[in-house]
Structure 1
């Protein structure tokens, strides 16, 4: 059996050495960090089974580091706080943030070993690292999204999440999921038609997540409408996601209008990566940590130039595409760090080439038609170009062509342009 790894973080060399000696004698593998910076680097590279963390350190106090790990989705191991100046208030604050326990210095040997043993047993029931909403970043767009989700957290109203593919709808749904309650991602949609109440019973007091509500058939939509009407009785929250424009599907007779009304009581737009590009370097770092900890790849660090290249690249596939690129780089780069050259190599492999433009390039227009018909033909080409470029995301189209959404839809209807993805 592999020895459990304990990370000891303390700015006093005597305490680090003493704890290391005691824990090593007990069969633990001990790593040492003399400040928050070293602890941060160590945690990013691998997940220890337990952290003993001093509160009072010169560069960054332990409470702040604990908050940082919690906000970054990295608090997936038990942390025991240590302090020679402990107070009840400090212990309560640390526990509220996520610390497992609190030890006051000087630490009695039996108390130390008892606490370490209890914390490691507790760790057996904690999930390994994974991407979550807190991993998405600190940009205004993500802070706004998280604030609105927190506002909805205590309510059981159904929620509709609207966003491009791969933008993180499931992370938003899991943010609203209460731990130790059922979670059901509905992959067998036919059960909505045949047994909607059984789904509610199965997920009592939990959450049902539907990844693409626009893919439901007519009978499944009726079943979902029935399920929504009874969900409150079972204490179930229902979160649906879509990449489509549901009002247009209603107009086309493809989506139930009553269901749209039921889902529209609470809806949120999820920003694309292009809308919070400043978060990409931190996202890349988080993904490297999670991929390494889950045993998918060997940990590699991105240098600053490589991170900048990732930030400046286009990601029409959003988080899903970014994760694939990060994994590719971690698997195929051969240096100690992932460099700009590595990033460019992989980004170029998957780049969509721009069509060649020359003086001979002509728009496919018949210049013998009337001015009105020529203008309509040009506008049709223009809007179809921007819709394709935005991957069907009408918010991005409206922003690119500088039209309000209402005016944009009116213009597309006039030109007989369909926006179904």
Structure 2
């Protein structure tokens, strides 16, 4: 378990990364701007930082330079951006960033980069610049054609967390029979999908990996689908990985 600081001005990205990394067993701190990141760096001394480049007050590259200048770049830093140029990525790696993740971020590439970061320590910045490693852009978001990274959360139905601390409640056998055909199509589909995913979560003991395999969804898409449906899997399902 590691202490990971996520710095991004987009709430949806912060929440999504927090859920994913938290489900992997890490302690996650969130900062929405450079000032909050400075305070978190000072108070908690994170083991790794995921740092967005474009932020409204101070951009990520400037903050990285500041940490490097003040001798505070003692942890691996992975830069993130959906709009950075190659020159910006090269500059960040020259300063001392360990990796660069292009948004929207693929789940497996995110986890791989985090694992690599946690097993390495940042090297002192010195010329020549280290070889740039740009990690590709398969979306971490759902399979929507826009590839947007910020999740849209809808709560048309009541959220039903799983029972107990880690136990997953099985859906009543008559829930499918209780679906109303008088509902609008979108609401009826959401109601069916909620029961469907609760069934598979119960059957697989809360294992997100096995549910993803059974339902044919990429794991990040599954996270977002459950959140959209109000299924509190990340917080309440037991880890059966």
How far did residue 46 of structure 1 move? 2.7
RMSD over aligned CA atoms reads: 1.4
- CA distance change for structure 1 residues 126 and 102 in 2, over 3 Å: closer, same or farther? closer
Deviation string 1:299-341 (CA, Å, 9 cap, x unpaired) is xxxxxxxxxxxxxxxxxxxxxxxxxxxxxxxxxxxxxxxxxxx
Match of 2:120 in 1: 122
Query: Partners in 1 of 2:43 and 2:20 — Cα distance?
Result: 25
Question: Is the partner of 1:75 in helix, strand or coil?
Answer: coil
Question: Is the partner of 2:57 in helix, strand or coil?
Answer: coil
Deviation string 1:145-190 (CA, Å, 9 cap, x unpaired) is xxxxxxxxxxxxxxxxxxxxxxxxxxxxxxxxxxxxxxxxxxxxxx
How far did residue 103 of structure 1 move? 0.4
| Contact 1:84–1:106 (8 Å) recurs in 2 | yes
Query: Partners in 1 of 2:84 and 2:102 — Cα distance?
Result: 6
Match of 2:73 in 1: 75
Match of 1:14 in 2: 12
Query: Partners in 1 of 2:66 and 2:50 — Cα distance?
Result: 16
Match of 2:105 in 1: 107
Unaligned stretches of 5+ in structure 2? 125-241
How far did residue 126 of structure 1 move? 6.9
Query: Partners in 2 of 1:67 and 1:43 — Cα distance?
Result: 14
How far did residue 74 of structure 1 move? 0.2
Question: Is the partner of 1:106 in helix, strand or coil?
Answer: coil
4+ residue runs of structure 1 moved beyond 2 angstroms? Answer: none
Match of 1:56 in 2: 54
Query: Partners in 2 of 1:83 and 1:92 — Cα distance?
Result: 13
Indicate the structure with greater helix content: 1
Q: Note the 1:361-376 alignment, pairs <5 A.
A: none
Q: Which one has the largest radius of gyration?
A: 1
How far did residue 72 of structure 1 move? 0.5
Question: Is the partner of 1:112 in helix, strand or coil?
Answer: helix
Q: Does 1:43 align with 2:41?
A: yes
Match of 2:234 in 1: none
TM-score (norm 1): 0.29
Q: Note the 1:14-413 alignment, pairs <5 A.
A: 14-123=12-121
Query: Partners in 1 of 2:85 and 2:14 — Cα distance?
Result: 22
Query: Partners in 2 of 1:60 and 1:53 — Cα distance?
Result: 12
Higher relative contact order (CA 8 A, sep 6+): 2
Query: Partners in 2 of 1:50 and 1:120 — Cα distance?
Result: 7
Corresponding residue to 2:2 among 4, 15, 18: 4
Question: Is the partner of 1:66 in helix, strand or coil?
Answer: helix
- CA distance change for structure 1 residues 42 and 100 in 2, over 3 Å: closer, same or farther? same
Question: Is the partner of 1:122 in helix, strand or coil?
Answer: coil
